[in-house]
Structure 1
Amino acid sequence: MQEEDDLRGLAKVADFMRAISFLFLAIHIYWFCYEWFAQTG
C-alpha cells in the first residue's frame, strides 16, 4: 500500500514538472521569436 501511494505522489510530481516545462518552453518561444510574431502579425 505504501508503494502505491509513493507511485501516485511521484506521478503527481512528474505531471507538475511537465506542466512547468511546457510553460517555460512557451515563454522561451515567445521571448526569442517575438520579432517574427510581430512581423507576421
Structure 2
Amino acid sequence: DMVIDGVGKFIDFRKYLGMAAEKGAKEASKHAEQTLSDILRE
C-alpha cells in the first residue's frame, strides 16, 4: 500500500533527522569548545 510505504519512509526520515540533529549538536559543542579554548589561549 502506498500510504503505508509513505508513512514508513516518513518515520525513517524523522529518525534520520533526529540522529543528524544529535550528531550536529555534538559537533557544534565540540566546535564551540575548540573556539572558546582558542580565544582563552590568546
After TM superposition, the runs of 4+ consecutive aligned structure 1 residues lying more than 2 A away are none
Q: Percent identity?
A: 6
Pick from 5, 30, 35: which aligns with 1:2?
5
Q: Normalized against structure 1, the TM-score is what? A: 0.79
Give structure 2 stretches of 5+ with no counterpart: none
Aligned residues: 36
Where in structure 1 are there 5+ consecutive unaligned residues? 37-41
TM-score by length of 2: 0.77
Compute the RMSD of aligned alpha carbons: 1.3
